[in-house]
A and B are shown apart, each in its own frame.
Chain A
Amino acid sequence: KNEVEQSPQNLTAQEGEFITINCSYSVGISALHWLQQHPGGGIVSLFMLSSGKKKHGRLIATINIQEKHSSLHITASHPRDSAVYICAVRSSYNTDKLIFGTGTRLQVFP
């Protein structure tokens, strides 16, 4: 079993829909990152969370430390949001490396 699990693996939406991507982890963490990877391969860091909730534009990320769960929400989705969204955690006993989920592939159609 992977230390970081994401669901769903694939997600298709119509433009304007509200999107939720989930991440569960089994290790103690010092921080959780949400990342976006476009087809070319480059990765962009969207959020780093250690508690609570963060918002940036149409993106909202939440984390529940007790339940070891985080969600990434996209409001009013747009085709340019189409990408792979990856959850990665920094374990509390080894903060030097990130442990990645396998990603959620999102496609938003006009």
Chain B
Amino acid sequence: DAGVTQSPTHLIKTRGQQVTLRCSPKSGHDTVSWYQQALGQGPQFIFQYYEEEERQRGNFPDRFSGHQFPNYSSELNVNALLLGDSALYLCASSRRFNTGELFFGEGSRLTVL
């Protein structure tokens, strides 16, 4: 049984470009949360998706958007990239009403030049 898978694992973009990151949750999980982790910091909550809708959002600008598909996989999109968007982007999956079963992907490391 595959756990949470994220792609790509590494990518480099330039300022102003757009990026799409992808996450497939663990089998049986229906809720996906995205986190941004800057170097040396703890992860920061971006948003959570359940039933193809954004349910909660952290303190991130509208440049950060997402989507959840009927198969529960999810995408994170970031527009108009800034240098400060360089970070590890983590996806976590769980079951909606069983938040104790929490699994993280390996992350997508984004570098903005």
Contacts and interface: CB of A to CB of B under 8 A. Distances in A.
Contacts of B63: none
A86 B56 contact: no
A48 B102 contact: yes
Nearest to A41: B107
B100 A97 contact: no
A42 B102 contact: no
B99 A43 contact: no
A45 B99 CA distance: 11
Contacts, number: 58
B109 interface: yes
A41 B109 contact: yes
Nearest to A6: B42
B21 interface: no
Contacts of B107: 41-42
A45 B100 CA distance: 9
Contacts of A64: none
Interface residues of A, number: 24
Interface in B40-78: 40-45, 48, 55-56, 58
Interface in A24-55: 31, 33, 35, 40-45, 48
Among the interface residues B55, B92, B100, B106, which one has the most CB atoms of the partner chain A within 10 A?
B100
A27 to B, nearest CB: 13
Interface of B: 33, 35, 37, 40-45, 48, 55-56, 58, 88, 90, 92, 99-100, 102-107, 109
27 contacts: A31-B99, A33-B102, A35-B104, A41-B88, A41-B109, A42-B104, A42-B105, A42-B106, A42-B107, A43-B43, A43-B104, A44-B104, A45-B102, A45-B103, A45-B104, A48-B100, A88-B43, A95-B99, A96-B55, A97-B45, A97-B56, A98-B35, A98-B43, A98-B92, A100-B35, A100-B42, A102-B40
Given A43-B92, A43-B104, A100-B42, 16 more contacts: A31-B99, A35-B104, A40-B106, A41-B88, A41-B106, A42-B106, A44-B104, A45-B102, A48-B102, A86-B42, A88-B42, A94-B56, A95-B99, A98-B43, A99-B45, A102-B40
